[in-house]
Structures are given as structure tokens and as C-alpha cells.
């Protein structure tokens, strides 16, 4: 397996545009969740979400392209631009050896909903020729490739909430198989619209907490559902040999990656967490690491009554908990590193979260500061790990894991570690 490294990062989130603003928002314990401004519909029971604020697509693309793209593509494009610029990659010199994997769970769903309403309800029977290019998931990758002249492998991943993590997995596989030297892994999500909010509310998946700032409370005993978010993320992933040859600044190593499926239920995870356990073990095997080598885990942690304890159980089992009828012995629990969820800051970014949360892991390694879990106040006996509730914690770590666990039993685990130079 090739040694793979990360040389560029990009992010568009409800707590900041750009990686620096995003990371500072985490450190400042900023919450980007509020009342939805994108639409007004009194029939939708829950109208809070994490919206990106102050985003002007013309800061990142031409006015013509802004008119031809939906928000989820614009967020992906802006994230990609930041990552490409940070990496310093000269794309035109090796366009055939540079590829893209785009991640999006819901692509242009909100655009489809708006267009159908104007067509069927408002009676405007002409649909814009831009409609299809705005909604197709793969058009994010296509628009970036057209703008930058990228001609290598191109894939679009739509595996629900684990899309971002799975996109990293696929990019790593392509690099390891020799199909490319550099991969842009990019994600975009913007699906706040009445039909999505209504179906999730009817499924009792969303928080009913009337206070937007405290609605998302991962692992807290009073959690009652997740909060939708939107945004984009991007990383530049390349072989170590290629990065060193071009003199790139290497931010960290991609140590391991795992993907699998529960094969259990369309929305609920396996209660015993066995799918997530196997996925984390797969990532560790590829990394040649033991669970004790991980210094921090950024959990999927969506703030749901069922999902949070299942992930906690999976993590505890990974670290040696066998007798589920008994509390985990303190000596085993002491081996588990601090864990947290950053969804209290941003809401659930769906396909984009798998990338922005890996970025949080990279920044934790770089800065020696671990992200806290926002709104964790009341302990839950079923969720009894160190969730960093007090605020950002100064702790030097060399490796971190990020979990993304999606509808349909999709699981991905990504391990990043401090880059130590050529071996």
C-alpha cells in the first residue's frame, strides 16, 4: 500500500467559510444552528438547521457559473478552490494523473422540490435549461474538472451520511491501485427544503428542541434527534512520493481507511455496533495500528437516542469490552481516548460531514487542541466516555480517527496521523 498524504484542505460550514474560520468556530464553541431562512412554510413542524451564512458564490467562481450551479455544487467548488490553492498543485502539468471523487448524499433535492412547486402549483410550465445541471450529483466534480482542466479518474459517491468518508476511501483505493497520483476529494450538501424537513420530522429523526442553540446535543441524556446542516469540504490526497517530488507542504498522513455495511436496517444501526466495530478494525489494520495508538476519535455522534449509544458501544467493544451485562472495567475504559462530536457546532452536514470532520481531526493533530462536544451537560449512563464537555482541550496527539455512519448501514472510518517524513 502506498504512503498517502494530505496537502490541501477546504471547508464551507455554518460556523465559518474556509478552514481557518471553521476551526476557529469550533475552538470558540460557536453554534451555527438557527431558524431556517431558506424557506417559510407553516406546515413544516421543524424549521431549525445549520445554514451557511455570508456565502457569495461569485467570490469563488464566475457569475455565469454561479447561475448554472446549485448551492451544493457551489459549496463543493469553493471548498475545492481552497484545498487546491493550499496544496500548490500545478494541475495543467499532470492533468491526466489527477482525479476527483465527489461526495453528496442528497445532491439537488431542494432544487427539485422548488422547481416542482413552481411547475405544478404556481403553474409556470417552462423549466429552466439549467435545471438538470444544477441537480445532478456528479456535476460538482464535472464543474471543478472543467474549470481546472482535470482529466483523471472521476467518481461521485452517494452513501448517505458516510458519503464523505467513503469518498476518501475510494480516492485512497485509486491512488493505491496506481490510477492517479493526486486525488481531490470534495463534498457538497444543501437540502434544506420543506419535503426533506417534513419527512425527517415525521420519521422522528429531528430534534424538537425549540432552542436552536441547544437542539443538537450529542451523547447528552436530553438529546432527542439530529439537526440538519449544510456545507462543503475538500482535501487533496496524494502519494507521498508525488508530494515530496513536487516539494509540497505535507499536512498529515492518511494512515488507514475502512468501509462496510451493517446489512441490518435502512435507518437504524446495529444495536451492538458490530458493523462500526468491524469498520474501525479495518481502518486500523490498514494503518498497522492498535486502538491504543489513536489519540482522539471524532465520532459520528448525531444526537439521536439510538445512534449515539450504538456508536459508544462500538468504541467500547473496540477497546476490549466483552461482557455487555457488566459495566466496562475502569482499566479498559482508561485505554479509550477522548472522543467528541462537532455536530453541535454545525448540525449534520450529511455527505459533507465525513470530510469536514476529518479536517477537524487534522487540525487537532496540527494544533494540539481537541474539539469539544457542544451542549453536553447531562450524562447518559449508556454514553459514558470522555466527551470533552468542558471546551477545547490542549492535548498533543499523533493520530486521530473519524467515523461516519450513514442510513442503510453505511460505515466509514478514516485514520489520519502526524506526518513524520520519509521512512
Q: Which residues are catalytic?
A: 161, 300, 348
343/373 Cα distance (integer angstroms): 8
Ramachandran bin of 250, using left for φ above 0, alpha for ψ from -120 to 50, beta for the remaining angles: beta
Residue 304's nearest CA partner among 390, 191, 406 is 406
User: Partners of 26 in the beta sheet?
Assistant: none
Residue 374's nearest CA partner among 413, 351, 405, 346 is 346
The bridge status of strand 98-103 relative to strand 48-50 is: unpaired
Question: Between the CA of residue 196 and those of 127, 184, 206, 345, what are the distances in Å?
Answer: 22, 29, 11, 21
> What's the DSSP call for residue 229?
B
The bridge status of strand 231-239 relative to strand 16-17 is: unpaired
List the grid coordinates of 226: 439530529
For the chain, the first-to-last Cα distance in angstroms comes to: 14
Residue 187 main-chain phi, psi, to 5 deg: -145, 155
| Cα 100 from chain centre | 17
In three-state secondary structure terms, 209 is coil
156/135 Cα distance (integer angstroms): 13
192/132 Cα distance (integer angstroms): 19
279/412 Cα distance (integer angstroms): 6
Residues 6+ apart with CB under 8 A from 256: 282, 283, 284, 285, 286, 287, 288, 289, 413, 414, 415
List the grid coordinates of 179: 490510477
Residue 412's nearest CA partner among 262, 188, 232 is 262
Question: Between the CA of residue 363 and those of 27, 348, 350, 356, 418, what are the distances in Å?
Answer: 11, 19, 20, 11, 10
Amino acid at each position: 500500500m502506498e504512503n498517502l498524504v494530505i496537502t490541501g484542505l477546504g471547508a464551507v460550514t455554518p460556523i465559518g467559510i474556509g478552514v481557518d474560520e471553521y476551526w476557529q468556530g469550533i475552538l470558540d464553541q460557536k453554534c451555527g444552528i438557527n431558524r431556517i431562512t431558506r424557506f417559510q412554510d407553516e406546515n413544516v413542524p421543524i424549521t431549525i438547521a445549520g445554514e451557511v451564512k455570508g456565502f457569495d458564490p461569485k467570490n469563488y467562481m464566475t457569475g455565469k457559473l454561479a447561475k448554472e450551479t446549485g448551492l451544493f455544487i457551489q459549496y463543493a467548488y469553493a471548498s475545492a478552490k481552497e484545498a487546491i490553492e493550499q496544496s500548490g498543485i500545478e494541475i495543467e502539468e499532470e492533468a491526466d494523473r489527477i482525479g476527483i471523487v465527489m461526495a453528496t448524499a442528497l445532491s439537488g433535492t431542494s432544487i427539485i422540490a422548488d422547481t416542482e412547486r413552481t411547475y405544478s402549483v404556481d403553474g409556470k410550465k417552462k423549466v429552466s435549461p439549467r435545471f438538470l445541471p444544477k441537480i445532478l450529483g456528479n456535476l460538482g466534480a464535472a464543474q471543478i474538472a472543467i474549470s481546472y482542466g482535470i482529466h483523471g479518474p472521476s467518481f461521485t459517491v452517494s452513501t448517505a451520511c458516510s458519503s464523505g468518508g467513503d469518498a476518501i476511501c475510494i480516492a485512497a483505493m485509486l491512488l493505491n491501485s496506481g490510477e492517479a497520483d493526486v486525488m481531490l476529494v470534495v463534498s457538497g450538501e444543501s437540502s434544506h427544503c420543506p419535503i426533506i424537513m417534513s419527512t425527517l420530522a415525521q420519521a422522528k429523526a429531528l430534534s424538537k428542541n425549540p432552542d436552536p442553540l441547544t437542539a443538537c446535543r450529542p451523547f447528552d441524556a436530553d438529546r432527542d434527534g439530529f439537526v440538519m446542516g449544510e456545507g462543503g469540504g475538500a482535501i487533496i490526497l496524494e502519494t507521498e512520493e508525488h508530494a515530496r517530488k513536487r516539494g509540497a507542504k505535507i499536512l498529515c498522513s492518511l494512515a488507514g481507511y475502512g468501509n462496510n455495511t451493517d446489512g441490518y436496517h435502512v435507518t437504524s444501526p446495529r444495536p451492538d455496533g458490530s458493523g462500526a466495530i468491524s469498520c474501525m478494525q479495518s481502518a486500523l489494520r490498514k494503518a498497522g495500528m492498535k486502538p491504543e495508538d489513536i489519540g482522539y476519535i471524532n465520532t459520528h455522534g448525531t444526537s439521536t437516542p439510538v445512534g449515539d449509544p450504538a456508536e459508544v458501544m462500538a468504541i467500547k467493544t473496540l477497546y476490549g469490552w466483552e461482557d455487555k451485562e457488566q459495566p466496562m472495567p475502569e482499566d479498559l475504559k482508561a485505554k479509550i481516548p477522548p472522543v467528541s462530536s462537532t455536530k453541535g457546532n454545525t448540525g449534520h452536514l450529511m455527505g459533507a460531514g465525513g470530510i469536514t470532520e476529518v479536517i477537524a481531526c487534522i487540525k487537532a493533530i496540527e494544533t494540539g487542541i481537541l474539539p469539544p462536544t457542544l451542549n453536553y451537560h447531562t450524562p447518559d449512563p449508556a454514553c459514558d466516555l470522555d466527551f470533552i464537555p468542558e471546551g477545547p482541550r490542549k492535548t498533543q496527539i499523533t493520530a486521530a480517527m473519524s467515523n461516519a455512519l450513514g442510513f442503510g448501514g453505511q460505515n466509514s472510518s478514516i485514520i489520519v496521523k502526524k506526518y513524520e517524513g520519509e521512512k
